Chain A
Amino acid sequence: MPYDQQEDTPDDALLVLYANGDGAAARILTLRLTPRIFAHAFRMLGDRAEAEDVAQEAMIRLFKQAPDWRQGEAKVTTWLYRVTANLCTDRLRKTKGVALDAIPEPEDGAKSAAQTLQDRARADALQNALATLPERQREAVVLRHIDGQSNPEIAEIMQISVEAVESLTARGKRALAQALSNQREALGYTDG
């Protein structure tokens, strides 16, 4: 199948193509899914190097799973988020603490230096606040409010009920608001 026709192909169909030796499917799956799980791992771990290791390992597991993948049974992203979350949990239990200061800031020429600094400060503040949440709350909040997953999808990823997801995200947001309440002015929020 030509590369441009596969851009809209569902993940599970691409996985079957990949298992059948289709080189284009390998490229599309890599470029489509790696950014999503890397971002999720980064928000969970707060460390690019760790997140890269997790994303690479999760993708390898997906590719190994491809020959046995049963189309229509589970969403590829659900399976992948679950694997990524488990890998993140393992890492968090081994290495406590998040060294945000060690994260290099990529150059962004489109923004002013002041804007870049403020964005960095806000992202760091959120990341630090996320790091204070219990793992399950953090995972639910990241999946819902940053990764943009629906509650039923999160329930499947975390293997809990939708009500439990709603409870986790609600408590997580309250805890985040509390953790950030004393930084409003520092982060440039002066009203409301």
Chain B
Amino acid sequence: MLDDLFAAARTDSRATPSPDLLARVLSEAEGLQVVAPTPDAPPERRGLWVAVVAAVGGWPALGGVAMAGVAGVWIGVASGTALMQDTLGLDLYGETAQSYLSDLDDTYAFDFTAEE
């Protein structure tokens, strides 16, 4: 008889928790739970070019450098050969005659006769 009563007790519906209790316990569980921390954002990967740009002061500074470079080229082209000394400019600019640096200055030439 006892074993039968024990078996009956195991299926006694009064020993089953109410949905309300389960909801309360779950609510307590969630309230006590420490929310998992979101992983820190990985450090931004910076390429070499980005680092160089940053080193010279960023894009505005780089723009200034670029502008100065363009201006230099323009001054050089617009002034023709006037800024060049001697005849080197004319010779280098000329298209009709071949020019050799060695003709202009011996120091540009290899001295094959020189003793070692």
Contacts and interface: CB of A to CB of B under 8 A. Distances in A.
Partners in one complex: yes
Contacts, number: 109
B21 A34 contact: yes
Q: How large is the interface on B (under 10, 10 to 19, 20 to 34, 35 or more residues)?
A: 20 to 34
Given A35-B16, A122-B8, A123-B14, A60 B22 contact: no
Interface in A107-161: 108, 119, 122-123, 125-127, 145-146, 148
B17 A63 contact: no
Nearest to B28: A60
A180 interface: yes
A52 B36 contact: no
B29 A173 contact: no
A20 interface: yes
Contacts of B10: 146, 148
Nearest to A38: B17
A184 interface: yes
State the main secondary structure of chain A at its contact with B: helix
A67 B33 CA distance: 9
A103 interface: yes
State the main secondary structure of chain B at its contact with A: helix
A189 B2 CA distance: 11
A21 B2 contact: no
A105 interface: yes
A18 B25 CA distance: 14
A30 B12 contact: no
A106 interface: yes
A37 to B, nearest CB: 9
A30 B17 CA distance: 11
Contacts of B30: 23, 26
B29 A43 contact: no
Contact of B15 (A21, A39, A108, A187): A39
A30 B8 contact: no
B16 A180 contact: no
A19 interface: yes
A81 interface: no
A56 interface: yes
Contacts of B5: 122-123, 125-126, 180, 187
B13 interface: yes
A123 B9 contact: yes
B6 interface: yes
A22 interface: yes
B36 A22 contact: yes
B23 to A, nearest CB: 9
Interface in B1-43: 1-6, 8-18, 21-22, 24-26, 28-30, 32-37
16 contacts: A21-B34, A23-B30, A26-B30, A52-B18, A52-B21, A59-B28, A60-B28, A60-B32, A63-B32, A105-B13, A106-B16, A119-B12, A122-B5, A123-B9, A146-B10, A189-B1
Given A52-B17, A123-B9, A187-B5, 4 more contacts: A26-B33, A38-B21, A180-B5, A192-B1
